[in-house]
Amino acid sequence: MSVIDDLIDRLDRARVLTDPDVVGSYVHDEAEWAPYSAPLAVVRATSTNDVQRTVRWALEHNVPLVPRGAGTGLSGGANSIAGCVVVCLEKMDAVLEVNPLERIAVVQPGVVNDDLRKTVAEQGLWYPPDPASSPWSTIGGNVATNAGGVCCVKYGVTRDYVIGLEVVTGTGEVVRLGRRTAKGVAGLDLAGLFVGSEERSASSPRSP
Ligand SMILES: Cc1cc2nc3c(=O)[nH]c(=O)nc-3n(C[C@H](O)[C@H](O)[C@H](O)COP(=O)(O)OP(=O)(O)OC[C@H]3O[C@@H](n4cnc5c(N)ncnc54)[C@H](O)[C@@H]3O)c2cc1C
């Protein structure tokens, strides 16, 4: 059984894209100038469980993973590297909860920035971080790049609006960081530590 057959075995077949013509639209972000290579496959995750299974599979087979939101990044951070699997989060696009009393929203990573802003506006709330890519870029990508636009000069960047995260670690564990309340005084700000996690620059791609 090939490594990709094993991945397909662990996920729904529909989640794993291998057709080169389809995969080709996931190989780079808006930094086309940055290096990129063909991935083995693209996983279109629909749940945390899909991501966790993919990470565990990648660990077993020593395959690098590249997360991807909408691919609007300008630094090549979502660019595919040779032999990797791109994990695309765009299908995880649900706003799970909006709580006007606590003034919090719980969202999946593939929610588009403008969609979140529209949804919370229905409850009289405003989500200030406004990268100019807000009609397309996802909250997951915004978090990984700590995105900010014009409003952020006055109101702060993405990090200032993330109080909790559910994270699949590189070892395939699911951890919850942060809090649900405005006040949070205990321990280190681990959720804040994850915001701005994008690390790979186009000039220094990591080897598999
Ligand atoms: C026209 C245009 C205007 C822009 N304006 C701004 C601006 O004003 N301010 C600004 O800050 N940026 C701007 N950008 C850059 C880009 O839109 C932002 O970096 C945005 O946050 C990327 O979101 P995305 O969903 O497209 O992420 P992607 O490009 O898909 O990924 C960006 C990075 O995040 C990682 N990533 C994505 N999703 C996840 C996830 N769920 N978990 C872990 N890692 C993840 C990727 O691996 C990659 O490193 C602009 C881009 C364009 C094309």
Q: Is the CB of 113 under 6 A from ligand 1?
A: no
Contact 30, 76 (CB under 8 A): no
pLDDT (0 to 100) of residue 67: 98
Tokens of 204: 């220094």
**Would you place residue 200 in the very low, low, confident or very high pLDDT band (cuts 50, 70, 90)?**
low
pLDDT (0 to 100) of residue 153: 95
Among 88, 113, 130, residue at a domain's last position: 88
Indicate whether 208 pLDDT > 80: no
Q: Is the CB of 150 under 6 A from ligand 1?
A: no
Percent of the chain topping pLDDT 70: 95
48-97 residue pLDDT tens: 999 999 999 999 999 999 999 999 999 999 999 999 999 999 999 999 99
Structural domain span for residue 81: 3-88
pLDDT (0 to 100) of residue 87: 98
Is residue 166 helix, strand or coil?
Answer: strand
The Å distance, Cα 187 to ligand 1 centre, comes to 29
Taking the alpha carbons at both ends of the chain, their separation in whole angstroms is 21
When divided into structural domains, the chain yields a total of 2
Q: Is the CB of 205 under 6 A from ligand 1?
A: no
**Would residue 176 count as lying in a domain?**
yes
Which helix H or strand E contains 151, and what residues bound it?
A: none
Locus of tokens 């299908």: 91
Q: Is the CB of 78 under 6 A from ligand 1?
A: yes
Cβ atoms within 10 A of the Cβ of 97, count? Answer: 11
The Å distance, Cα 160 to ligand 1 centre, comes to 17
Question: How many whole angstroms from its chain centre is CA 104?
Answer: 19
Which DSSP category does 205 fall into? Answer: P
Residues 19 and 76 reside in one and the same domain? yes
**Burial per residue of 54-85, b for 16 or more beta-carbon CB atoms within 10 angstroms, e otherwise:** bbebbeeeebbbbbbbbbbbebbbbbbbeebb
The Å distance, Cα 142 to ligand 1 centre, comes to 5
Residues 50 and 73 reside in one and the same domain? yes
pLDDT (0 to 100) of residue 204: 44
Q: Is the CB of 129 under 6 A from ligand 1?
A: no
**Would residue 27 count as lying in a domain?**
yes
108-156 residue pLDDT tens: 999 999 999 999 999 999 999 999 999 999 999 999 999 999 999 999 9
pLDDT, average across residues 173-182: 94
Residue nearest to atom 5 of ligand 1 (CA): 132
Q: Is the CB of 39 under 6 A from ligand 1?
A: no
- Tell me which residue of 131, 107, 128 sits closest to 117, measured CA to CA: 128
- Tell me which residue of 170, 166, 206 sits closest to 190, measured CA to CA: 166
Contact 52, 95 (CB under 8 A): no
pLDDT, average across residues 3-23: 96
Contact 131, 147 (CB under 8 A): yes
Residues 82 and 109 reside in one and the same domain? no
Q: Is the CB of 139 under 6 A from ligand 1?
A: no
CATH number assigned to the domain comprising residue 30? 3.30.43.10
Q: Is the CB of 145 under 6 A from ligand 1?
A: yes
**Would residue 120 count as lying in a domain?**
yes
Residue to probe by mutation, ligand 1, list 27, 36, 72, most atoms within 8 Å of CB: 72
